[in-house]
Amino acid sequence: MIGSTTLKQLAVCVRACRLCRDRPLFPPALPHEPRPILQVSAQARILVAGQAPGIRAHTSGLPFDDPSGDRLRDWMGINRAQFYDASRLLIVPMGFCFPGHTPDKGDLPPRRECASLWHEALLALMPQVDLVLAIGRHAQAYHFRRLGRPLPATFKLGDLVRRRLEPFAGGPRVFALPHPSWRNSGWLNDNPWFERDVVPDLREAVAALL
């Protein structure tokens, strides 16, 4: 069925998915009503590949609808209107739904059902992507593996972020980014080269494709 499905039809299927709650492939089941969130089109050439929606995005239905989104948009040098324009920007997180909280109120890892069931089909229908912003460890491991350069289990974020413009043969460029959450403020303070060296390159790459 997926092989003959259009991108629009596939997005409808993703938004209707309740697998992680009703028949989880990776228990335990999602403990709340799923609300799959993504932004896709056949035009946009920039893919934001994050982890999973947070609780505010789960409530509003908008990905990165929180201070981490404000920081990410600042890094990219774009405004909210550009960010939420599907003809300019794709948003396909590793997990489409808010996964729940850890005991210390952090977010749980993305649900693995999403990537195993939907990601390859979605990305196959968006071959126009020229730039991937891989945000966080789960997205980085997935997209580097998908593009033929699997990361070692011991990879360090700083080393990976510095490889931001390394080209993939026949594929898009990949920027590996730290998560823009306030929880990463310590890493950002300890690595001032990120905002000094990487952010300007990121803005230039984004501007060239908008």
Q: Note whether 30 and 99 are within 8 A (CB).
A: yes
98: tokens are 């808010």
CATH code of the domain covering residue 98: 3.40.470.10
Q: Note whether 50 and 136 are within 8 A (CB).
A: yes
Q: Give residue-wise pLDDT tens across range 141-190.
A: 999 999 888 888 888 888 888 876 565 667 788 899 999 988 888 999 99
Asked if the model's pLDDT at residue 52 lies above 80, the reply is yes
Instruction: Report helix, strand or coil for 161.
Output: helix
Model pLDDT, residue 167: 59
Model pLDDT, residue 168: 66
Q: What is the CA radius of gyration of the chain?
A: 16
Length of the chain: 210
13: tokens are 């299927």
Q: Note whether 172 and 132 are within 8 A (CB).
A: yes
Query: Which range of residues forms the domain containing residue 107?
Result: 2-209
Q: What is the percent of the chain where pLDDT is above 90? A: 70
Asked if the model's pLDDT at residue 206 lies above 80, the reply is yes
pLDDT band for position 18 (cuts 50, 70, 90): very high
Comparing C-alpha atoms, which of 11, 109, 104, 99 is closest to residue 58?
Answer: 99
**What's the total number of domains in the chain?**
1
Model pLDDT, residue 1: 43
Model pLDDT, residue 2: 52
Q: Give residue-wise pLDDT tens across range 106-152.
A: 778 899 999 999 999 999 999 999 999 999 999 999 999 998 888 88
How many other C-beta atoms are found inside a 10 Å radius of the C-beta of residue 206?
21
